[in-house]
Structure 1
Amino acid sequence: MKYVIIGGVAAGMSAAMEIYRTDETAEIAVLERGKEYSYGQCGFPYVINGYIPDLEDVVARQVETFREKYGMDARTSTEVTNINAKDQIVYGIDLETGDGFQVSYDKLLIATGANPTVPQWEGIELKGVHTLKTVTDTKGIMHDLDDDVKHVTIVGGGYIGLEMAESFKTLGKEVTLIQRGDQVAPIFDLDMAELIHEEAKRNGINLKLGESVTGLTGTDRVEGVKTDKNTYKTDLVLLAIGVLANTQFLQGTGIHLNPRGAVLVNPYMQTSLKNIYAAGDCATDFHRVKQVNDHIPLGTTSNKQGRIAGANMAGNPLQFKGILGTSIIKFFDLTLGRTGLSEREAQQLNFPYEVQTTKANSHAGYYPGGETLHLKLIYHRDSRKLLGGQIIGKKGVDKRLDVLAMALHHEMTVHELVDVDLSYAPPYNGVWDPLQQMGRKA
């Protein structure tokens, strides 16, 4: 059986290794557009500020490992341009030579990820304008961050924007963050996002909310960022305004995409075309609370979907059980966590819901060193099923977030949450965990 995988990062190589383990006779070809394989994108901000000392530390396996140890035809600098689903042929270009190539397949996986959104602003091609998605992007930013770069401007206040605001600030740079909406971290509700705004300002981040960038200024290198309200001098710009699924090459193939271009897949990661699968940031995810296909690109999801796609391609049927949008981020001294629906999403979906909010200690109040946790719990007004939650604080956020994600996965009610046997000792918790305190109130 000949397997072809388009994309050599999280989903693609998770699938490749699952195929390798499942089908001992597999012929595996991987077509990767970049030069690096199997790296952890989430570690890039910490490489840039030096907290992780070497970029190689976020690379799980080198391309040579897949070739020499696992016998894969692992290619780099190969961009796929078209797919003939009827004859089961992939067409592409070798980016180093410019030569075209074609590869036949028995089973095909699309794991092409997502591309950073780059608006067609005036000045977008100036030197000093960056995105952050690949190893090459990371090297470019690090090479560009010399002593002449005093002021950095970040466009976009999502997770990458926030993480990089901290990263640049720890390097001693002045940081301006411009967000088109009225809050950063739009996956949080505004009442919770205000805590993030306060942390940003406390750490010297120059927040500009409710401003839309209209262009960049400069001659050879970027010198300023123009918005609908002002112009800000800068020495470097990072665009962090979201991503779009890398699926443009699928136009005309007949494969079914969602309105934002992500490949529609079923629980077995199969697409609408025979023998073609998709996984990772280029594919849809079934949302367990919304009960619809969604698109929330996260590294955990990419690895899970890749493994499941590889297993199914190799004849071992597994199902992807869906997502909750669970995510966590470090932002200076705060940890920001959320899972399931926000209040805003519950409103948009017309769910009848109730909300509980509270401030609680991260562990027993009489034990030294406790920190305040800010918690928000959303649940169904009628069924009392949990719908989602948001937690922000300095300590203990991850512990509660993962408990809540598990409860959501199993469709628990607020009453059932109260009954769970959670761990307790004064250095770690109170007798009643903050989540269970909220469940009792509900």
Structure 2
Amino acid sequence: MKYVIIGGDAAGMSAAMQIKRGGDEHDEIVTLERGEYYSYGQCGLPYVLSGQVESTDDVIARPVEVFRDKYGIDARIHHEVTQLDYENKTVSGVQTDTGEPFQVEYDQLLIATGVSPVQPDWEGLDLNGIISMKYIPDTKEIKGYIDNYQPKTVTIVGGGFIGLELAENIKEIGIDVRIIQRGNQLMNPFDEDMAELIHEEAKRKGVELVFNESVQSFKGQEYVDTVITDKNEYETDMVLINVGVKPNTDMVSDDFHLGPKGEIIVNAYMETNIDDVYAAGDCASHYHRVKQLNDFVPLGTTANKQGMIAGMNMIGHNRAFQGIVGTSILKFFDLDIGRTGLSEKEAKQLNIPYDSVKVETNAIAGYYEKGQNVTVKIVFDKGSKRLLGGQVIGVMGVDKRIDVLATALYHNMTTEDLLNLDLAYAPPYNGVWDPIQQAARRTL
């Protein structure tokens, strides 16, 4: 059996290793990666800028040579797939380093091409010093520009996860940071009242926030020196753009079922609507257990799970993907910022009758150490009291609370069920009533 996998990162290589471990020893596995790096942690890249992660090499889990030499996988780099012929079972494209065309036959195919940064059609985008952050080469370019040109002010367009991580790490090395956000808050997945806590932290750390302005263009001779919005002009020495991502699915035909953002729709077994073609990771749909709908929430954790499950199903070991609940966490200066499930905004969009409760309290026993504050917000169904989502922001213990709430969402628990949980308690870790249970008490 010949397995071809397009994409050499989380989903693709999780699938490849699953096939290698569980398939036949005579199986052939070919992986096609358009870049030159395999299997690395993109989430660690912003921390290279501040030196908290020493080098981009440190985020590489396995170099391509390991897959070739140790595991016998035909792992190719600089192979960009541009066309699929699923009737004749071939993929074709171009070798980006030589310009040579290639074609590979397959028995089963996995599309694990990930996402790319959205690049708006802004005038001046080709000026030096304007960079989008996604891949290892981007990180090297940003670091090289900072080292060579010593910018005093960096403007970040977009206040999402990567934008905030960039803001923190660039501020840490003594550069002034401005964030321009088209809407009225940072971190759109959070409700406005919780986002205010993030705004306060940004201002406390000296990050300039610009809301409700849309970038229109950039000015400069050879290097960017001005950002122009629909309302103002801002002097800057560098611009980092992070306004969203789009699935890398340009090579698939109209015969594939695609979602609203261009993601490939898959079933629980990672199968597409085309025979013997699977998709997994950031380029695929992700079933949301709370929404009970297909969603698009590209995260490394999900990509690794979906890749593993795709690999198992490709070799005949039936395994269904159980879905996501939309869990994420972020460090932003002294704050930890976590969420899972639905926000109020999402519940409203889905026409779910909801209510919410928010508590601000100490993350641990108040008499043990004061000032370790945490804010917990839970969203729940108004009638059944079934938990719909949670947001937690604080200086400690956020990861614990978010993971408890994510587990509760997975099991369709109610706020009363939350109250009944037997959670760990000792003064250095908690109060006798955990903050999420304090919130749950207010729902009864």
User: Which digits, 9 at most, give the CA deviation of each residue in 1:163-195, with x for residues without a partner?
Assistant: 000011001111110000000100000000001
User: Which digits, 9 at most, give the CA deviation of each residue in 1:308-340, with x for residues without a partner?
Assistant: 111111111111100111000000000000000
- Matching residue's letter, 2:208: N
Q: 1:133 corresponds to which residue?
A: 134
Contact between 2:362 and 2:371, CA under 8 Å: does it hold in 1? yes
- Matching residue's letter, 1:18: Q
Rounded Cα–Cα distance in structure 2 between residues aligned with 1:246 and 1:218: 31
Q: Does 1:250 align with 2:252?
A: yes
**Deviating runs (4+, > 6 A) in structure 1?**
none
Cα displacement (A) at 1:365: 1.2
- Give the 3-state SS of the residue equivalent to 1:248 in structure 2: coil
Rounded Cα–Cα distance in structure 2 between residues aligned with 1:394 and 1:226: 36
Q: Does 1:2 align with 2:6?
A: no
Matches within 5 A, 1:87-126: 87-126=88-127
- Give the 3-state SS of the residue equivalent to 2:102 in structure 1: strand
Matches within 5 A, 1:196-211: 196-211=198-213
User: Which digits, 9 at most, give the CA deviation of each residue in 1:320-370, with x for residues without a partner?
Assistant: 100111000000000000000000000111101111111111111111255
Q: Which moved more, 1:334-343 or 1:25-34?
A: 25-34
- Matching residue's letter, 1:389: G
- Scaled by the length of structure 1, the TM-score of the pair is 0.99
- Give the 3-state SS of the residue equivalent to 1:249 in structure 2: coil
Cα displacement (A) at 1:209: 0.5
User: Which digits, 9 at most, give the CA deviation of each residue in 1:362-402, with x for residues without a partner?
Assistant: 11111125511111110001111100010000011111110
- Give the 3-state SS of the residue equivalent to 2:195 in structure 1: helix
Matches within 5 A, 1:383-398: 383-398=384-399
Cα displacement (A) at 1:251: 3.0
Matches within 5 A, 1:19-418: 19-23=19-23, 24-146=25-147, 147-252=149-254, 254-418=255-419
Rounded Cα–Cα distance in structure 2 between residues aligned with 1:150 and 1:332: 20
Q: Does 1:17 align with 2:17?
A: yes
- Give the 3-state SS of the residue equivalent to 2:19 in structure 1: helix
User: Which digits, 9 at most, give the CA deviation of each residue in 1:146-169, with x for residues without a partner?
Assistant: 253111000000000000000110
User: Which digits, 9 at most, give the CA deviation of each residue in 1:60-103, with x for residues without a partner?
Assistant: 00000001001111111110010001111001101111111100
- Matching residue's letter, 2:286: D
Contact between 1:364 and 1:370, CA under 8 Å: does it hold in 2? no
- Give the 3-state SS of the residue equivalent to 1:61 in structure 2: coil
User: Which digits, 9 at most, give the CA deviation of each residue in 1:196-238, with x for residues without a partner?
Assistant: 0110011010100110000011121111110011111111111
- Give the 3-state SS of the residue equivalent to 2:274 in structure 1: coil
Contact between 2:269 and 2:319, CA under 8 Å: does it hold in 1? yes
- Give the 3-state SS of the residue equivalent to 1:192 in structure 2: helix
Cα displacement (A) at 1:260: 1.1
- Matching residue's letter, 1:220: E
Rounded Cα–Cα distance in structure 1 between residues aligned with 2:64 and 2:39: 8
- Give the 3-state SS of the residue equivalent to 2:203 in structure 1: helix
- Count how many residue pairs are aligned between Structure 1 and Structure 2: 441
Unaligned segments of structure 1, at least 5 residues: none
Contact between 1:15 and 1:308, CA under 8 Å: does it hold in 2? yes
Rounded Cα–Cα distance in structure 2 between residues aligned with 1:270 and 1:136: 32
Q: 2:424 corresponds to which residue?
A: 423
Contact between 1:154 and 1:238, CA under 8 Å: does it hold in 2? yes
Rounded Cα–Cα distance in structure 2 between residues aligned with 1:30 and 1:90: 11
Rounded Cα–Cα distance in structure 2 between residues aligned with 1:341 and 1:238: 29
User: Which digits, 9 at most, give the CA deviation of each residue in 1:120-166, with x for residues without a partner?
Assistant: 10001111111111111111111111253111000000000000000
Unaligned segments of structure 2, at least 5 residues: none
Contact between 2:362 and 2:370, CA under 8 Å: does it hold in 1? no
Contact between 2:11 and 2:304, CA under 8 Å: does it hold in 1? yes
Rounded Cα–Cα distance in structure 1 between residues aligned with 2:205 and 2:117: 27
Contact between 1:363 and 1:370, CA under 8 Å: does it hold in 2? no
- Matching residue's letter, 2:239: V
Rounded Cα–Cα distance in structure 1 between residues aligned with 2:27 and 2:175: 50
Contact between 1:358 and 1:376, CA under 8 Å: does it hold in 2? yes
Identical aligned pairs, as a percentage? 56
- Give the 3-state SS of the residue equivalent to 1:398 in structure 2: helix
- Matching residue's letter, 2:169: S
- Give the 3-state SS of the residue equivalent to 1:66 in structure 2: helix
Rounded Cα–Cα distance in structure 2 between residues aligned with 1:32 and 1:94: 10
Contact between 1:188 and 1:338, CA under 8 Å: does it hold in 2? yes
Rounded Cα–Cα distance in structure 1 between residues aligned with 2:320 and 2:146: 44
- Matching residue's letter, 1:10: A
- Give the 3-state SS of the residue equivalent to 1:335 in structure 2: strand
Contact between 2:360 and 2:373, CA under 8 Å: does it hold in 1? yes
Contact between 2:153 and 2:177, CA under 8 Å: does it hold in 1? yes
Rounded Cα–Cα distance in structure 2 between residues aligned with 1:237 and 1:314: 46
Cα displacement (A) at 1:438: 1.4
- Give the 3-state SS of the residue equivalent to 2:437 in structure 1: helix
